Amino acid sequence: MRDYDAMMACFATKSQFLTAARELKELGLCELDYYTPHPVAELEEIDPFDEASLQKSMLVAGVFGGASALLLEYYLLAVDYPLNVGNRPPASWPAFLVPAFECLVLAAGVTGFIAFLLLCRFPRLYQPVFNIEQFEPGEAFFISVRTTDKNFDDTAVRSVFARTQSTGVYDVPH
Partner 1 sequence: MNPQNDILGITLSNAPKGWILGFAASFVLFLVFMFAAIWLFAYGVGIWGIGIPVAWGFAIVNFVWWIGIAHAGTFISAILLLLNQDWRKSVSRFAEAMTLFALACAGLFPIFHLGRPEFFYWLIPYPNSADIWPQFRSPLVWDLIAVLTYTTISVLFWYVGLIPDLAALRDKANSKSKKRVYGLFALGWSNERRQWHRHRSLTIFLAALATPLVVSVHSIVSLDFSVAILPGWHTTIFPPYFVAGAIYSGFAMVFTIGIPVRKFYKLHDYITAEHLDRIAQVLLVTGLFVTYGYVCENFLRWYSGSEFERSLLHSHALGKHAVTFWTMLTLNAALPNIFWFRAMRRNAVVLFVSATLINVGMWIERYVIVTASLEHGFLPPSWGDYSATVWDWLLLLGSFGLFLSLLFLFVRFIPVVSVFEMKEKLAEERQ
> Binding residues for partner 1, per CB under 8 A?
14, 33-40, 43, 49, 51, 54-55, 58, 72-73, 76-77, 80-81, 83, 92, 95-96, 98-99, 101-103, 105-106, 108-110, 112-113, 115-117, 119-120, 122-127, 129-130, 136-139
The nearest distance, CB 147 to partner 1, in angstroms, is 17
For 82, half-sphere exposure in the C-beta direction (CA atoms, 13 angstrom radius) is: 12
Instruction: Give the residues across from 10 on adjacent strands.
Output: 142, 168
Strands 141-146 and 168-172: unpaired
The nearest distance, CB 167 to partner 1, in angstroms, is 17
The nearest distance, CB 93 to partner 1, in angstroms, is 10
Using a 10 angstrom Cβ sphere, with 0-12 exposed, 13-18 middle and 19 or more buried, the burial of residue 39 is: exposed
The nearest distance, CB 109 to partner 1, in angstroms, is 5
Of 159 and 173, nearer to partner 1 (C-beta) is 173
Of 87 and 155, nearer to partner 1 (C-beta) is 87
Cβ neighbours of 86 (radius 10 Å): 4
DSSP 80-139: IS---STT--S--HHHHHHHHHHHHHHHHHHHHHHHHHHHTT------GGGG-TT--TTT
The nearest distance, CB 110 to partner 1, in angstroms, is 7
Of 79 and 159, nearer to partner 1 (C-beta) is 79
Of 111 and 166, nearer to partner 1 (C-beta) is 111
